[in-house]
């Protein structure tokens, strides 16, 4: 019988529903795990133990009174410290927001609570989810970056301090740290999950991200949070299917479009051969793999992402920058300053090019069920002055297409590697089904050896 | 500037803006970031879609 802290979301929720595990036992187990590991990993900013245990007890009482409220009843969830939590600090890893206490919950936080979840605490983020590294430690090797910006959320899930945590992605901030830490990261379609009450980097790029250890858990968390929110102008009224049901409907191996162009060119030889081996395994299990080409508009995709991100960040932070520029970290400050310098016409041209790029990427993905690339160009860099390179994630963020990284093995240095899959907008069901199939064929589930 | 500004023109333009906002010394300090931004803008200029394509702010 595993310790409760080792359970996935699906396992923990199942045991709670069946009565073999109480929400309080689970919360205590996770808090004990955090107590043991936090000095080494520094993944958390704020944890209100009393509140966590009070909420867990409330969930326990609710089970006796009317049954589970939803699919994650009694399961604690971590939040990147950019999510508004009523009465709990949302410091965004910054000096500027150090004492900011929101008076309402982000829509995502409300939906987690409505589904029976327990908010475990706030996880470390890079400053305002931008480029300055955080102090979180990579559990696979402390000399290597854990990635960012959702660094604490990724570390916490990898080290079994929680089964699920929220991140966010403007460039590569969910899927890259997920890959570096050996876990599953899902960046849904732009607008699939409300960002109301999430401190922005860039309104037209920001996407709520999900960090978990299995594809099924990604489906469960997406189910809990997906759907229209009138408070978020980028979150339209699109139907929300049953994602677990969509996964179970996967009646055979998927048609996979392998993108070697750019992604192989930028990868290390080790990542290239590792990805080839993973693809070969998928093909042997029946996947139809065909190599596909990127559209011409891909050439400017990274530039569009940077221009748009910098300008929108400058707009959001303009007032703080004017009064407190010296309190921003160097990379955040540089992004804001670049955003202030970019002429308005160049920003609009970037947005127009993005629209063309999105259309072209959709046409490319329509040729297959999902496309596949290496998840990262190399394992987490041995450099704590960086959060790594988001170049493999930016195209999906910029085009708004959903993407997911799934662990695929370890490098020669013992660091996690991953594959990345992407699908069509609003079709996370098909993406999750294919990702679940790949996860099952690859059979890789990673746990950092020093913290197992 | 010509119809499609060159990388050099874009770099000169934002460098002048940086100098006007924060002074010569800071603009010099920002040289690498300014270079990168000018590169990004020039790259986008090579990919601008047809004239009737609107931006899709909330795709």
Chain A residues lying within 8 Å of B56, measured CB to CB:
351, 354-355, 358
- Encode pLDDT of A310-345 as tens digits: 999 999 999 999 999 999 999 999 999 999 999 999
Query: How far is it, in rounded angstroms, from Cα A229 to Cα A141?
Result: 40
Average pLDDT of chain A?
Answer: 97
Of A8, A110, A154, A173, which one is the catalytic site residue? A173
Contact A197, A108 (CB under 8 A): yes
Cβ(A34)–Cβ(A41) below 8 Å: no
Q: Which of residues 1-59 of B touch A (CB under 8 A)?
A: 10, 13-14, 17-18, 21-22, 30, 33-34, 36-37, 39-41, 43-49, 53-59
A74: β partners: none
pLDDT of residue A134: 97
Regarding an ipTM greater than 0.90, the answer is: yes
Q: Write down the mean pLDDT value for chain B.
A: 92
Please give the pLDDT value at position A262: 98
Contact call for residues A140 and A41 (beta carbons, < 8 A): no
What's the pLDDT score for residue A250?
79
pTM over 0.95? The answer is yes
* pLDDT of amino acid A413: 97
Contact assignment for A190 to B39 by CB distance below 8 Å: no
**Chains A–B, number of C-beta pairs less than 8 Å apart:** 93
Q: Residue A320 catalytic?
A: no
Q: Do A300 and B43 touch (CB under 8 A)?
A: yes
Contact state of A334 with B37 under an 8 Å Cβ cutoff = no
Once rounded to an integer, what is the mean pLDDT over residues B26-51? 95
Look at the block and give the residue holding tokens 């999906």.
Answer: A396
Q: Inter-chain contact A348–B55, Cβ cutoff 8 Å?
A: yes
Q: Residue B1: pLDDT above 50? A: no
Residues (pLDDT < 70) of chain A are none
On the question of pLDDT at B2 being above 60, the answer is: no
Closest Cβ–Cβ partner in B21, B54, B56 for A358: B56
Question: Which of A297, A307, A343 has the CB atom closest to B40's CB atom?
Answer: A307
Convert the pLDDT of each residue in A357-387 to its tens digit: 999 999 999 999 999 999 999 999 999 999 9
């Amino acid at each position: 019988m595993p310790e409760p802290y080792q359970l996935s979301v699906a396992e923990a929720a199942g045991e709670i529903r069946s009565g073999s595990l109480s929400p309080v036992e689970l919360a205590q187990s996770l808090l004990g795990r955090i107590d043991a590991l936090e000095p080494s990993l520094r993944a958390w900013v704020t944890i209100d133990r009393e509140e966590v245990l009070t909420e867990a007890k409330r969930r326990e009482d609710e089970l006796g009174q009317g049954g589970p409220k939803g699919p994650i009843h009694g399961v604690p969830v971590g939040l990147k410290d950019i999510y508004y939590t009523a009465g709990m600090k949302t410091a965004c890893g910054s000096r500027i927001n150090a004492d900011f206490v929101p008076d309402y919950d982000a829509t995502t936080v409300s939906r987690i609570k409505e589904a029976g979840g327990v908010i475990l605490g706030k996880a470390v983020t890079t400053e305002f989810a931008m480029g300055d590294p955080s102090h979180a430690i990579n559990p696979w090797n402390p000399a290597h970056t854990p990635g960012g910006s959702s660094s604490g959320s990724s570390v916490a899930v990898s080290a079994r301090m929680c089964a699920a945590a929220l991140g966010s992605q403007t460039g590569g901030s969910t899927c890259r740290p997920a890959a570096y830490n050996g876990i599953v990261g899902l960046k849904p379609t732009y607008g699939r999950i409300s960002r109301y009450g999430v401190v922005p980097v860039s309104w037209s790029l920001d996407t709520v991200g999900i960090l978990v250890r299995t594809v099924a858990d990604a489906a469960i968390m997406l189910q809990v949070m997906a759907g229209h929110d009138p408070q978020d102008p980028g979150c339209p009224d699109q139907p929300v299917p049953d994602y677990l049901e969509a996964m179970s409907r996967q009646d055979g191996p998927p048609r996979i479009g392998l993108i070697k162009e750019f992604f192989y060119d930028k990868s290390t030889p080790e990542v290239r051969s590792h990805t080839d081996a993973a693809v070969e395994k998928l093909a042997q299990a029946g996947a139809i793999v065909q190599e596909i080409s990127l559209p011409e508009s891909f050439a400017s995709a990274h530039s569009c992402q940077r221009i748009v991100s910098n300008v929108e960040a400058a707009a959001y932070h303009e007032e703080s920058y004017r009064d407190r520029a010296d309190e921003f970290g160097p990379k955040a400050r540089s992004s804001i300053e670049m955003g202030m310098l970019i002429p308005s016409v160049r920003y609009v041209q970037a947005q127009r090019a993005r629209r063309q790029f999105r259309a072209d990427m959709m046409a490319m993905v329509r040729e297959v069920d999902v496309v596949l690339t290496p998840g990262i160009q190399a394992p987490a860099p041995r450099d704590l002055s960086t959060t790594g390179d988001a170049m493999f994630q930016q195209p999906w963020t910029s085009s708004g297409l959903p993407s997911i990284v799934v662990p695929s093995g370890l490098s020669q240095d013992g660091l996690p590697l991953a594959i990345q899959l992407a699908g069509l907008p609003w079709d996370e069901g098909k993406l999750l089904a294919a990702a679940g199939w790949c996860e099952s064929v690859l059979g890789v589930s990673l746990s950092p050896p020093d913290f197992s | 500037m010509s119809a499609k500004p060159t990388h050099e023109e874009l770099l000169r333009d934002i460098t002048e803006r940086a100098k006007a906002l924060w002074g010569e010394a800071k603009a010099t300090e920002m040289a690498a970031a300014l270079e990168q931004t000018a590169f990004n803008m020039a790259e986008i200029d090579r990919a601008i879609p047809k004239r009737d394509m609107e931006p899709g702010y909330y795709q």
